[in-house]
Structure 1
Amino acid sequence: MSTLLPYLSPVVNRTTTATATFAPRTSIAATVKPHTTSKHHQVQAATLHDYFQQSTYLLTKPDNGPPRWFSPLECASRFKDSPLLLTLPGIDGNGHALLLHYQRLGQLFDIWCLHIPTTDRTPFSVDLVKLIETTVRSESYRRPKRPIYIVGESMGACLALAVAARSPDINLVLLLANPTTSFSKSQVQTLLPILKVMPDQLRLQVPYLMMSLMADVPSRMTIAIAEKGLPFQQTLINLSEDVAAWFSYISGLADVFTIETILWKINILVSAYDHSNSHIHKVSAQTLILSSGRDQLLPNIVEGQRLCRILPKCQTFTFSHRGHALFLEKDVDLVTVIKEAGVYRRAVLLPPSQLERRNSVDSLRWLDVATSPVLLSTLENEKIVRGLDGIPNEGPVLFVGHHNVLGFEVIPMIRHFMIERNINLRMLGHPLLFKKFKEVKAPYLEPYDFLGAMGAVPVSGCNMYELFSMKSHVVLYPGGVREGLHRKGEEYKLFWPEQAEFIRMAATFGAKIVPFGAVGEDDFTQLVLDYDDQMKIPFMKLYMEALTNETVKLRTDVGGFAKPDMHVPGLLPKVPGRYYYLFGKPIETQGRKHELRNREKAEEAYAHVKCEVEKCLAYLLKRRQDDPYRSIIARFMYQATHDGFDSRVPTFHIN
């Protein structure tokens, strides 16, 4: 950011009268300087320095007004009918906790931030909770179909829980970062009796201590000393810019956060703790807990687990090496977290950002070591080549394939499409992948979070229509759960429905259909306990029935086969082999819209695609036997004598 402060807009013009009384037109916007932009009005990404600058402005500005909402104007690029996102501040009350995330969040949400002036003495349970509840109810009444997200950090998380407990009839999603529901176990709790008898000179150090703990300064200093091997005194001089900026920020607020203000804030914190814990059993909203492992103030990981046991629709994400001020960490992206958690209610998300793509490619690099995938494609002259040269550049393109066990093959495939062709594959997946708040807990498989970050969406006609409208490259598995959870001896067998479900939709948009096959699951795992085996074990049978009843079922019958009951297959790992992919020649549907409206023609095209997928599987199953590097040991030996893990390992000869 180039100069001082971005525009801040009070939300008075978009709320009912009840809410507007807390958002006077001249409260913030009248005195805030505009943020410099380019001639195309593009706002640069915010930095930690911008947070300090803008927070200092809000906290030190003379203001005797009540709490009020403001909306950053740099978040004006959102989708039409975007969900409302309310940001509730921590103990400082400045409202800018998500400043580093405004640019990304503003594309998905209509953002309102709550600002509580430093001099304000509004009680927690009476007025603060009532203010937020009034806003929630008025916005829900105004647009009843729009979900309302509440992001609360620290004390703000307690506010969010209190509002949710009073609003069980409202469509809410809670995103809670390091909630102070565990305040009784906090180090600050032990300071309360001491503060009242502490000498004035020592009292002046309390604001420094609290702000330092919030910023995780002690841990950062320890890491700096360990990494640089410098004496303590020299480390203070050579601390990173961020930590030095924290010290400067704390010094600038010392006059504002007097000991009287700190005592009031702590009293509010105690009220928030008592109120939220006494009403938490009334909360029914979908909830995502974000827990920091290096929080110097609160035992967040244990508390997140406790809350997930109490709340009926709850999931927790852990950031092991992050401090209390989670949203100010450079490598924490709230939009990515929301995608991976599957809590965004809009069907089709934004495509992944460059940062998400880079992080996903880097974090899953171990897949190349383990699977060394061989990707083959078919050119227009039907010649098979190694690489993805046969894949169409322009969408819409529909990739139709076969699921290996648990659908794991899609992860290295999507990753390599990004690396080799810079193509983002959007997978249409079973709703179970996106429904993570379950009463019946299935095993958590972290690599599948990658799919949400890359823009995977639940399979449906509406989502396919929207993705084709965006000219996307879309991945569809017609066999769905029945293929991904197949029985023993059913590897590489197709379980497609009888109806030509996707042909007409593809023809409507003139999408190219690329049939493909992937083999390799039998080189990585051995299925030892399938559905039939588990049905014979009483307690496992009960678990599967509960999981099946809770899961969204797309169809109860697949091509005459048994219904796809949900279960977790028992797998034993093998010494890793290799994954192989073959993408067939693209099938054109351009200009065939009217032809494929005919049921018989559509069924013929459907049968053709299915036959091509089976041919791809047969080709790979046969040819992989000639691969001298199918074993991971042979691949390691090759890489040891070439360019290491970055070398592309050869495969069988391609005719």
Structure 2
Amino acid sequence: MGLILHHKSLGKVFEVRCLHIPVNDRTPFEGLVNFVENSVKNEHALSPNRPIYLIGDSFGGCLSLAVAARNPSVDLVLVLVNPATSFGNSQLQPFLPVLEALPDDIHTAVPYVLSFIMGDPVKMAMANVDDDLPPPRTLEEISKSLTSLLPLLSDFNDILPKDTLMWKLKLLKSGTAYANSRLHAVEAEVLMLASGKDNLLPSGEEADRLWTKLKNCRIRYFKDSGHTLLLEDGFNLLSVIKRTTIYRRSKQHDFVTDYLPPTKTDFRKHIDQDNRLFRLATSAVTLSTLESGRIVKGLAGVPDEGPVLLVGYHMLYGLELDPLYEAFLREKNVIVRGMAHPILFRSSENSRTELSRFDLLLSFGALPVSPVNLYRLFAKKSFVLLYPGGAREALHRKGEEYKLFWPDQPEFVRMAARFGATIVPFGVVGEDDLVELVLDYNDQTNIPFFREWLQNVNEDSIKLRENMEGEVSKQDFHFPVLLPKLPGRFYYLFGKPFETKEKKELLKDRESAREAYMQIKSEIEGIFSYLKTKREEDPYRGPRDFARRCWVAGVPSSTFLSLLTSADLHRGLSMKIRDSDGIRGILL
């Protein structure tokens, strides 16, 4: 049943197979492993250069791991959803003898009770309700869906009669032991999806254990979900596969050809749920420059077709990225492929979150910065985002806001000229309104604990531009300590497009390329001055307008108050509550 909500979307990308075990089937665990193994080998023989994905849900996780352990030479990718390898620590384990001893008339209630332990019926009912319905209609549809779902849960008596249930539990016990004894032999790439409210298995703890046992394992954690994650509302398996970049068409993942852009549903979920408060806090203003030099609201001044190279300033931690990506998706229906530091693409990680910041960047097209990737993107007429200042700019020190750290060499101009790409310089201000830098790199190197930790972090890290002189070569990774400030706004200005199509001298004459490079850099510095002046004239900047935006968006007053409290207590701002009515009762 876990495939029901996902086969349509998965079918757009994969050739989907589903394993079904009939109620009366009594094939032992190794027999089931042989069955799956033969299917895998047949597929591998037909297409030896294509990876095979095994989606292992609960007991299927044991099967997937067993097949992978026995076939290390086959290119397998495992997606494990609350795998039953932790069955030995399950709450059901001590009840096996009791279940076996129950008389048939009492036993009929057991599968029905189990169905509620396995998942949240309300979340399962919501999975069939359209997200765009108004609240009254949504409540009505959930009620109908739940009413039709509950009788189906009672059908578990027919699906799992006593002898079948006991066989399944014994099968599960043997499968768990078999898979756990062979974890060391698993060479496959593994993505582990764990639920925080799994009442059937200790899936969170099991995810941590498997991460230490498996050679190439990543974890994503869904803290509010139950055991039947695949059947719950708001979960889309293909979206998870896309944003964790485990999708590939050959032995190695190709960030250019294997990229799967977010769907409209993915984008809407990101805007309305994952990124809602940040959007309200920054309330981005986007401006662009027409050919005539006139500055207009929106992206009308940016070309509609690629290849286009966006070159600009990197805020702390890349805070400017989300509104930029959203603006191009909304106005241009274009995915901007951002060039990022290769260290961010290390595959093995243990994330106790459902969606990491890096997942978000990947889903919106981030890929490792390299001349080869830039070349291939231009060849595909893509929109490319490049920060010449790189990590040094994104992890700048105190007092370095809106300062460019560019190398002396025109790294991108000649490549753009080779494909006739349009270069669009841009700047953004607002970082100083949103966060305050408390501990920068210099501060941390003066603290013994931080200094030793930074040395360990950077000892084996990937180094870029090591052979260059100046500040741009000093790109040691660290994590600046920030404090939130009163929300202001982000202001973007995309400068006048710089055409390279008819400028062959940029390819042949290095001095011409350098002049163009310095011209683009100078324009971005001018954009900073323009935006700083204009934002002082903005009547909709500051905490009062943030309060209005939260009120209009329906943000609960408790959430709003907690945001303001955490942001402003350290600045000594006083707040008074006139009434308990929410946003309207706040005086700043």
Same fold (TM over 0.5): yes
| Code of the aligned partner of 1:513 | I
In structure 2, what is the equivalent of residue 262 of structure 1?
165
How big is each residue's C-alpha offset from its partner over 1:462-494, in whole Å with a ceiling of 9 and x where there is no partner?
433443344332211122112111222322222
1:327 corresponds to 2:230 = yes
| Code of the aligned partner of 1:331 | G
Deviation at 1:117, TM superposition (A): 4.2
| Code of the aligned partner of 1:621 | K
Contact 2:335–2:383 (Cα < 8 Å) also in 1: yes
1:468 corresponds to 2:378 = yes
Aligned residue among 184, 200, 207 for 2:104? 200
Contact 2:124–2:233 (Cα < 8 Å) also in 1: no
Number of aligned positions between the proteins = 534
Contact 2:337–2:365 (Cα < 8 Å) also in 1: yes
SS of alignment partner, residue 182 of structure 2: helix
Question: 1:541/1:151 Cα in 2 relative to 1: closer, same or farther (>3 Å)?
Answer: farther
What's the % identity of the aligned pairs?
46
1:379 corresponds to 2:290 = yes
In structure 2, what is the equivalent of residue 3 of structure 1?
none
Deviation at 1:405, TM superposition (A): 0.9
Aligned residue among 205, 209, 212 for 1:302? 205
Deviation at 1:273, TM superposition (A): 1.8
In structure 2, what is the equivalent of residue 346 of structure 1?
254
SS of alignment partner, residue 486 of structure 2: coil
Distance in 2, matches of 1:272 and 1:243, equals: 35
1:122 corresponds to 2:33 = no
SS of alignment partner, residue 196 of structure 1: helix
Distance in 1, matches of 2:395 and 2:480, equals: 7
Question: 1:220/1:591 Cα in 2 relative to 1: closer, same or farther (>3 Å)?
Answer: closer
Distance in 1, matches of 2:69 and 2:551, equals: 63
Contact 1:510–1:593 (Cα < 8 Å) also in 2: no
Contact 1:215–1:246 (Cα < 8 Å) also in 2: no
- List gaps (5 residues or longer) in structure 2: 127-138, 248-252, 556-588
1:177 corresponds to 2:87 = no
Contact 1:578–1:632 (Cα < 8 Å) also in 2: no
Aligned residue among 314, 337, 357 for 2:267? 357
| Code of the aligned partner of 1:343 | I
Question: 1:98/1:444 Cα in 2 relative to 1: closer, same or farther (>3 Å)?
Answer: closer
Distance in 2, matches of 1:617 and 1:495, equals: 14
In structure 2, what is the equivalent of residue 432 of structure 1?
343
Question: 1:330/1:572 Cα in 2 relative to 1: closer, same or farther (>3 Å)?
Answer: closer
1:495 corresponds to 2:405 = yes
Distance in 2, matches of 1:255 and 1:483, equals: 63
| Code of the aligned partner of 1:526 | E
Deviation at 1:378, TM superposition (A): 0.7
Distance in 1, matches of 2:3 and 2:458, equals: 38
Deviation at 1:547, TM superposition (A): 2.7
SS of alignment partner, residue 491 of structure 1: coil
Q: Map 1:241-640 to 2 at 5 A.
A: 241=145, 244-245=148-149, 247-248=151-152, 251=155, 254-255=157-158, 257-283=160-186, 285-311=188-214, 313-344=216-247, 345-348=253-256, 349-363=259-273, 364-435=275-346, 437-438=348-349, 446-558=356-468, 560-561=470-471, 562-592=473-503, 596-633=507-544, 635-636=545-546
Question: 1:314/1:384 Cα in 2 relative to 1: closer, same or farther (>3 Å)?
Answer: same
Distance in 2, matches of 1:436 and 1:632, equals: 40
TM-score by length of structure 1 reads 0.72
Contact 1:352–1:455 (Cα < 8 Å) also in 2: no
Deviation at 1:550, TM superposition (A): 4.4
In structure 1, what is the equivalent of residue 131 of structure 2?
none
In structure 2, what is the equivalent of residue 60 of structure 1?
none
Contact 1:342–1:435 (Cα < 8 Å) also in 2: no
Question: 1:512/1:615 Cα in 2 relative to 1: closer, same or farther (>3 Å)?
Answer: same
Distance in 2, matches of 1:443 and 1:360, equals: 15
Distance in 2, matches of 1:191 and 1:221, equals: 29
How big is each residue's C-alpha offset from its partner over 1:150-183, in whole Å with a ceiling of 9 and x where there is no partner?
3211011122333444455665433211111221
In structure 1, what is the equivalent of residue 63 of structure 2?
159
Distance in 2, matches of 1:333 and 1:116, equals: 24
Question: 1:455/1:238 Cα in 2 relative to 1: closer, same or farther (>3 Å)?
Answer: closer
Question: 1:221/1:238 Cα in 2 relative to 1: closer, same or farther (>3 Å)?
Answer: closer
Distance in 2, matches of 1:276 and 1:164, equals: 10
Question: 1:467/1:358 Cα in 2 relative to 1: closer, same or farther (>3 Å)?
Answer: farther
| Code of the aligned partner of 2:206 | E
- List gaps (5 residues or longer) in structure 1: 1-50, 52-96, 223-234, 646-655
SS of alignment partner, residue 414 of structure 1: helix
Distance in 2, matches of 1:569 and 1:130, equals: 52
Contact 2:222–2:353 (Cα < 8 Å) also in 1: no
Deviation at 1:571, TM superposition (A): 1.9
Question: 1:641/1:450 Cα in 2 relative to 1: closer, same or farther (>3 Å)?
Answer: closer
Once superposed, what is the RMSD of the aligned Cα atoms? 3.6
Distance in 2, matches of 1:442 and 1:208, equals: 32
Distance in 2, matches of 1:459 and 1:211, equals: 48
Question: 1:142/1:372 Cα in 2 relative to 1: closer, same or farther (>3 Å)?
Answer: same
Distance in 2, matches of 1:209 and 1:141, equals: 44
Q: Specify which structure has the bigger relative contact order, considering alpha-carbon pairs within 8 angstroms and separated by 6 or more residues.
A: 2
Structure 1 stretch 570-579 or stretch 371-380: which is displaced more?
570-579
SS of alignment partner, residue 100 of structure 1: coil
| Code of the aligned partner of 1:351 | P
Q: Map 1:88-167 to 2 at 5 A.
A: 97-124=2-29, 126-132=30-36, 146-166=50-70
| Code of the aligned partner of 2:313 | H
How big is each residue's C-alpha offset from its partner over 1:159-215, in whole Å with a ceiling of 9 and x where there is no partner?
233344445566543321111122133343243112322112233444444445435
Question: 1:539/1:598 Cα in 2 relative to 1: closer, same or farther (>3 Å)?
Answer: same
SS of alignment partner, residue 193 of structure 2: strand
Deviation at 1:583, TM superposition (A): 0.5
Question: 1:491/1:142 Cα in 2 relative to 1: closer, same or farther (>3 Å)?
Answer: farther
Question: 1:524/1:258 Cα in 2 relative to 1: closer, same or farther (>3 Å)?
Answer: same
Contact 2:82–2:195 (Cα < 8 Å) also in 1: yes
Distance in 1, matches of 2:513 and 2:47, equals: 41
| Code of the aligned partner of 1:264 | W
How big is each residue's C-alpha offset from its partner over 1:500-554, in whole Å with a ceiling of 9 and x where there is no partner?
3333333343322110011222222222322233233343333323333444444
| Code of the aligned partner of 1:612 | E
Deviation at 1:456, TM superposition (A): 2.5
Contact 1:367–1:412 (Cα < 8 Å) also in 2: no
Question: 1:378/1:294 Cα in 2 relative to 1: closer, same or farther (>3 Å)?
Answer: same
Contact 1:372–1:578 (Cα < 8 Å) also in 2: yes
How big is each residue's C-alpha offset from its partner over 1:337-357, in whole Å with a ceiling of 9 and x where there is no partner?
123334332313122211011
How big is each residue's C-alpha offset from its partner over 1:270-290, in whole Å with a ceiling of 9 and x where there is no partner?
012222333335545443221
In structure 2, what is the equivalent of residue 82 of structure 1?
none
| Code of the aligned partner of 2:399 | G
Question: 1:241/1:321 Cα in 2 relative to 1: closer, same or farther (>3 Å)?
Answer: same
Contact 1:487–1:532 (Cα < 8 Å) also in 2: yes
Deviation at 1:557, TM superposition (A): 4.5
Contact 2:123–2:232 (Cα < 8 Å) also in 1: no
Distance in 1, matches of 2:315 and 2:16, equals: 41
